[in-house]
Chain A
Amino acid sequence: MENNNILKNLYLKQFNQSNAIAYSKEFIASPSDYNFQLLDNAYRNAGKVYAKIKIAIETNKCESEHCTMELAQIKQLEEAPQVSLDFLSSLIGELSVTEESSFDPNNNYAYTVANSLMTSKPGFSKTDGYNAYLDLLEDGSQQIFFTGPAFEKDLIINSAALSALLNSDTSLVAATPDINNDMLRLLTEVNLFDPNMIGENKQLKATARISEEFILKNSDGSFDYEIVDLGNGKGRNMLQFDMTKIEKKVTPFINAEVAGLMSSEQDTIAAWNVYISKGTSVDEDAQMAQDANAGSSSWSYEKDLPLQQEKKVLFETKYKEYFMNNYLKQFTTNQMPTVKEDAAVFDLAEAKKAKAQKFLDDNNLN
């Protein structure tokens, strides 16, 4: 089921982005009717009902004592347009998540279809077999009803239910956090870089380097370089970093970031499904979503909420790996010496000999 859901979501995404429908002669030749008229249809009979109740009250022919029920119905009808506005605007806001570039295809695909219909996308008109109705219910709430070929079964959403969800900080459709942006910001917060390495846009400057205290040094204070073989007997020094110290430094900040993220478990699942689970890079994730491979290790919104402790721990571990591998690694690998003389290309054999001699000298082994 989940895999089928992912495939449908990805198909809809590709269909809406592909422009392919512009080349469908059948589509071009036929009229597309998006005249769903949600409000007009919803309130068509409401006018008659309103008038009937109003007359009953004014002529004292109410069914209930002191017209209690009738007065309540009138109040409900008078408030109904505002409820409709709030309901439809909230729904449109929620469904718009399905159009975000990092949308998790593990969300129910029916919302993607409903959004296509609400935003009048080609292929989702009345002519194509779709329809939507807004109903005013007796309890004062309202419901919207979507139907059409892409729905496995009709999608019904109640205004009171949606309102309760949103008031309890729960979304109808889980939005994927902007992990790329979060991690670029996190880089500036983990105290590995001097404040002057951070630009006005609150991100690291292109020339940013990790602070010297995290670079490995010899006992005499000189840098403990790694000698890299460039071929043809030549070599070059590269800085080595104290990864244990770095990891110890960044861990509390990463844990705090994850704790913040987990204020919404829906978002945590979305981040896991789209970015973190595979431990790949952002570019690869984009490719993966296209290939529909994201689902194999994904978590289900229906089955995995609330998140179990072991999943939270796993998320924290993988989040840290993702940060270390995709964002921090570029600052700890192939870093040229900061001392100009040490940055020159040199004869490899001589350098290795000199390094061995230094070791002997330092340890009184001569």
Chain B
Amino acid sequence: MIGLGAALIGGGLSIAGGIFGAGAAGKRARDAAKDRRRLNNKLNTLENSRQEIINPYKDLSSMISNPFSNLSVATGAAEIQIEQADIALANTLDTLRSTGASAGGATALAQAALKSKKGVAAGIEQQEKNNEDKRAAGEKQKQDALMREGQRVQQGEAWEFAQREQRQMQELDRTAALLGAARQAEAQAASDRTGAITGAIGAVGNIASSYYGAK
């Protein structure tokens, strides 16, 4: 091939050998560069298409609430009780009037009705106190839970950071290894090409001198 190349190219065997050698090495260098670009694109796509890291400790504090914060007092039953006491008092007074009973009996009845109403008011007050106690206990539970959630979220963020760091480091290592290999192949081929050309340079120098004899 090189013998024929010398006839084809002219200038002698070493030039032809240099040109054909450099041609092959140049092709290898371009192939290696192509590999490097391909690997870069591939890794970028893999990097972009990988799954999101899910933090198992994600912040759930918005879901924490005090279940006793909005307790209402059951006043409906008390209102009925008062109403019934009033009705009973009115009915009894009617009976007393029709039977000609004394005014003292009516007064006693009115006092009994009043006492009944006071009992109802005291029941409502007790309910309200119970509710206030529950609200306070619930608030304490909520604060405790928020504190625990805050600590858990901090752990989660640290875990997420560690995972991301680990994955990124793995991919960076892999990219660096692949790119390193491709670059090495590219550099080797380029060096081969330079070597082949350098081998031909001496001969070219001779040729140039003969062509440019006046130099």
Interface residues of A (CB under 8 A from B): 34-41, 43-44, 46-47, 50-51, 54-55, 77-78, 81-82, 85-86, 88-94, 96-97, 118-120, 132, 166, 169, 171, 175, 252-253, 255-257, 259-264, 267
Contact = CB atoms under 8 A, between A and B. Distances in A.
Contacts of A118: 8
B36 to A, nearest CB: 9
Contacts of B31: 175
B7 A90 contact: no
B212 A46 contact: yes
B39 interface: yes
A256 B42 contact: yes
Contact of B45 (A88, A91, A120, A256): A256
B34 A92 contact: no
Contacts of B204: 81-82, 85
Q: What are the 9 closest A-B residue pairs judged by CB atoms, nearest first?
A: A260-B42, A92-B23, A89-B22, A93-B27, A40-B10, A37-B10, A259-B45, A120-B4, A51-B214
Contact of B212 (A50, A82, A86, A88): A50
A40 B208 CA distance: 10
A120 B5 contact: yes
Interface in B40-70: 40-46, 49-50
Nearest to B37: A263
A267 B30 CA distance: 13
Given A119-B1, A260-B39, A171 B214 contact: no
Contact of B10 (A41, A85, A90, A253): A41
Nearest to A53: B214
B11 A90 contact: no
Contacts of A43: 207-208, 211
Interface stretch (B86-94, B98-106, B107-115, B193-201): B193-201
B171 to A, nearest CB: 12
A34 B39 contact: no
20 contacts: A34-B8, A37-B9, A38-B9, A39-B15, A39-B207, A43-B207, A54-B212, A78-B212, A85-B197, A88-B9, A88-B19, A89-B18, A92-B20, A94-B27, A96-B23, A120-B5, A257-B42, A259-B41, A260-B42, A267-B34
Nearest to B39: A260
B200 A34 contact: no
B99 to A, nearest CB: 77
B24 A96 contact: yes
Contact of A39 (B9, B40, B197): B9
Contacts of B24: 92-93, 96
B76 interface: no
Contact of A50 (B30, B39, B49, B214): B214
Contacts of A35: 7-8
A96 B28 CA distance: 11
Most interface-central of A54, A93, A120 (chain B CB within 10 A): A93
Contacts, number: 144
A78 B208 contact: yes
Contact of A256 (B4, B30, B46, B215): B46
Contacts of A175: 31
Contact of B27 (A37, A50, A88, A96): A96
Nearest to A54: B214
| Interface size range of chain B in the complex | 35 or more
A47 B41 contact: no
Interface of B: 1, 4-5, 7-11, 15, 18-24, 26-27, 30-31, 33-34, 37-46, 49-50, 193, 196-197, 200-201, 204, 207-208, 210-215
Contacts of A41: 10
Contacts of A86: 22, 197
B30 A36 contact: no
B22 to A, nearest CB: 4
B40 to A, nearest CB: 7
Contacts of B7: 34-37, 120
A90 B190 CA distance: 12
A44 to B, nearest CB: 8
A34 B10 CA distance: 10
B213 to A, nearest CB: 6
A21 to B, nearest CB: 15
Contact of A90 (B4, B21, B26, B40): B26
B51 to A, nearest CB: 9
Given A260-B42, A267-B34, A88 B211 contact: no
A166 B30 contact: yes
A262 B5 CA distance: 36
B135 to A, nearest CB: 50
Nearest to A81: B204
Contacts of A92: 19-20, 23-24
Nearest to A88: B19
B214 A55 contact: yes
Most interface-central of B18, B33, B40, B46 (chain A CB within 10 A): B46
Given A36-B7, A38-B9, A264-B37, A255 B45 contact: yes
A120 B2 CA distance: 10
Nearest to B204: A81
